Every structure is written in C-alpha cells, then in structure tokens.
Amino acid sequence: MVQAARWLRLPPEHPFNLAALPYGSYTAASHANVCRVGVAVGDHVLDLTTATSRLLPARAHLFQSGSLDDFLAAGDLAWAQVRDSLTSWLSDDQYRPAIEDLLVPAAAVRLRLPFTVADFVDFYTSENHAANAGRMFRPGAAPLPANWKHLPVGYHGRAGSVVVSGTAVRRPCGQSRPPGADVPTFGPSTRLDFEAELGFVVGAHSELGEPVPVSRFAEHVFGVCLVNDWSARDIQSFETVPLGPFLGKSFGTTISSWVLPLAALEHARLRPPSADARLQGYLTETANWGLDIDLEIRLNGSVISRPPYATMYWSPAQMLAHLTVNGAAVRTGDLYASGTVSGPEPGQRGSLLELGWNGTEPVSLPDGTSRSWLQDGDEVTITATAPGPDGVRIGLGSAAGTILPAVREVPAGRS
C-alpha cells in the first residue's frame, strides 16, 4: 500500500486512508459556501476543485461545477488519472505546499448529494432476503419466485426522491388495508422500514439499443455508495399488485455522501455464489464482481445487524447486463441498487421486516424499548468497510437518516 506523506498524520487504520479516496460534493464557510468536489482524506476533505486547477489543469474543468457529474461522464481513463494523481499528491512530500491549505476539517463542511441522480433502479439480489420475504408472505410455497435464479429481479424507482445522508425523511401517508378489512384506510404509514443496500453509480453512458456485457461493467460503472431504500410496508403491500413497488418506496431513498470508486475495491472482489440454474449467456459472470463488503446497521446508535455483501447471489456486472439486455441505455448519474443485503444468520438481516419477522419478533434495543417498525425520531445509520491492500480496511462512509412525523393534513379534493 502506498504510504501517506508523514505530514498528513493519516494512520493506515483510518477508514479514509490512502487506499480509499472516495469522492463527494461539499460546501464550506471557508470557501464562501461555493460547491466543490472533495476527496475524503482521514478526518479532512481535500478541495479537489482547487487542487486540480493547481496541479492537473487538463482535468480541472471536470470539477468546476462542484458536483461529480462531469467527472463521472469523463470515463475510465480520466478516473484512473485523477486517482493516480491524488495518490501522488498525498504520498509525496513535494506536493505539500500545493495542497496543505486545501485540506478542510470534515467537521467544517456540509456534504451534498454528490451527483445528479439520473435513473434509479432497485434490484432484489440477496437470496436470503428474497427467501425470507417468500417465507413470510407465501407460506407453504417455494420461498423464491420461479424467475429468481434466472434473472436479477428489479424495478425502476424514483430518482428525484434520492437524498444525501443526513437528510431527514418524513413518514409517508398513503392507503393501506388493515388485516381482515375489506377496504383500505388512509393515513400515516404504521409499518415504516429501512433496507440496507449497496448502490452502483454509472459514469460513462451507453447507447440506446446496445446492451452492456458483463465484461464492460467497469467501463460504465464508476463506483459504489451506500443506500437506504426506506419502505412503507403497509402502503407497499396494498398497492404492489400487479405492477410492483410505487408510493411505498418513492417517498425517500438515502445515499451516502461519498462515492467509492471501483478502483478502491480491487481487494474486495470475489466470485459470487455459483449459479444454481443454467444462465443465459449474457448473464455469465466472467470477471468476478462479487464484493466482500461488510455492512453495519445502527438504530439510534445501537448495532442491530451486520449484513455481509459477499453473500449476494447476483453481481453488479450481471445486474448491469440484465438492465441493458433489451437495449435500454444507461446515463451518467444512473444509480442502481442491489436490493436489501441479508446474510444467512438472523443478525445479518438488512431490514426490520426480516429482523422482526414481520412484526412477530420485535427487535430489542439497549434503552429497553423494542421495534417492529420505525418510530418518529428514530435514526438509521448504515456504514460499511471493505478489505484494502496489506490488510487495511477501507470505509464507504455512512448513509444516515432520521424519521420525521407524518404531515397529517393532506388536502382533500374539492367536489
């Protein structure tokens, strides 16, 4: 592993060590609150917008807007060049005079949505999660739907509702049908949940009509972030038949402030679990894009689950191949998420639905309370780490959000 310059005082065990170098967007009072692109370096944020104008002027235009959008669109050669440059600047003492004044304490910046979210897709690629849902909602039937091992199941979600970590999420109102009732009622969701997921951020676009093969995943996908797909289970269960998730999911989706480039995950790559069914050729995983990433979920500060991403059945390269096999194009800023990450053990489940087994086994918290579903004021924080070089671990930051009470006064239509 490349050693950080000594003047940085950056211990290798810090999750934002030199092997991580995730990108984000921020404002700081010290920068007149002008939006900049930043890189997390230990407990500081490096002003990459200014650093490139000083040290890499040929790429500086990619960071002028303060968002990652132009950098994402620039493609894999630009991604590699900027990462190589950052590594040099932060490891070689000769660059200290040029960058030392560009390191801002992380506590002094406000992190923003790092890129403009184009399309949002959510998959369903954890076998444990899908089987748990099947056992709860289709008892006596096969836990997995007939299609599940033949293709990565997914749906198109709502990009405009994606918010950055730290944004409060309001409890949605909607229609749901209480158990045993014939007709639905309207009101605040009483079964509000989280889903801990990994998100994949598309950089370089593809052309309409041209599928993206598994082998070209890393040319199009720039990196990963953490995702909380907030879910109102009562609204979801009444509306989903027959067209799938709608208002029970679209009221808010939280992503982490930092996007970790795929280049940081070389040591986390692994072969996904063997396919049990004979796959169509376009889904053959040839490049081993399974990922050994350990997630952790906290509810009001207490760890309630540790889902292992390594157990996911479909890889993100297979997801992208499936997403585009009909000729659908991907665009810069597209975000597609893995679906809830759940491991085989009870303490590895990625949603309250599973941790509390649909309300029948409430989750106990250290303060003596328990949860079947989220309460107003609850804070959910998802964090994750992955193996880096030489035994270090690298961080993905966090995706956090607090539940606000519902707005009960929904305007009635005039008759």
What does the per-residue mask of binding to Ca ion show for 11-40, with x meaning CB under 5 A? ------------------------------
Measured from each CB, the residue nearest to Ca ion is: 229
**What is the closest distance, in whole angstroms, from the C-beta atom of residue 248 to Ca ion in the complex?**
10
Is the CB of 322 or the CB of 393 nearer to Ca ion? Answer: 322
Tell me which of 31, 44, 129, 205 is the catalytic residue.
129
Burial of 11 (0-12, 13-18, 19+ CB in 10 A): exposed
Q: Which of 229, 234, 334, 354 binds Ca ion (CB under 5 A)?
A: 229
Is the CB of 67 or the CB of 253 nearer to Ca ion? Answer: 253
Judged by CB under 5 A, which stretch of 45-53, 77-85, 139-147, 187-195 contacts Ca ion?
A: 187-195
DSSP string, 44-105: EEEEHHHHHHHH-GGGGGGGTTSSSHHHHHH-HHHHHHHHHHHHHHHH-GGGHHHHGGGEEE
Judged by CB under 5 A, which stretch of 88-96, 117-125, 378-386, 403-411 contacts Ca ion?
A: 117-125
Judged by CB under 5 A, which stretch of 110-118, 190-198, 271-279, 369-377 contacts Ca ion?
A: 190-198
Residue 267 annotated in active site: no
Q: Which of 195, 234, 285, 294 binds Ca ion (CB under 5 A)?
A: 195
**What is the closest distance, in whole angstroms, from the C-beta atom of residue 272 to Ca ion in the complex?**
19
Range list of β-strands (E), 238-301: 253-255, 260-261, 269-270, 290-291, 294-299
Q: Which amino acid is at 283?
A: L
**What is the closest distance, in whole angstroms, from the C-beta atom of residue 156 to Ca ion in the complex?**
12
Contacts of 408 (CB under 8 A, 6+ apart): 173, 187, 188
Is the CB of 355 or the CB of 394 nearer to Ca ion? Answer: 355
Is the CB of 17 or the CB of 165 nearer to Ca ion? Answer: 165
Q: State yes or no: residue 122 binds Ca ion (CB under 5 A).
A: yes
Of 218, 174, 220, which is closest to residue 330 (Cα–Cα)? 220
Q: State yes or no: residue 193 binds Ca ion (CB under 5 A).
A: no
Q: Which amino acid is at 33?
A: N
Judged by CB under 5 A, which stretch of 16-24, 115-123, 327-335, 401-409 contacts Ca ion?
A: 115-123
| Tokens read off for 44 | 């500081």
Provide the CA 40 distance to its chain's centre, in angstroms: 17
- C-beta atoms surrounding 411 within 10 Å: 5
Judged by CB under 5 A, which stretch of 85-93, 121-129, 294-302, 397-405 contacts Ca ion?
A: 121-129
The residues that bridge with 164 in the sheet, in sequence order, are: 255
Is the CB of 67 or the CB of 126 nearer to Ca ion? Answer: 126
Cα separation, 71 vs 60, in Å, equals 10
**What is the closest distance, in whole angstroms, from the C-beta atom of residue 71 to Ca ion in the complex?**
27
Buried b (16+ CB within 10 A) or exposed e, 216-229: bbbebbbbbbbbbb
Is the CB of 229 or the CB of 334 nearer to Ca ion? Answer: 229
| Tokens read off for 245 | 């998730």
Q: Which residues are catalytic?
A: 129
Binding site for Ca ion (CB under 5 A): 122, 195, 229
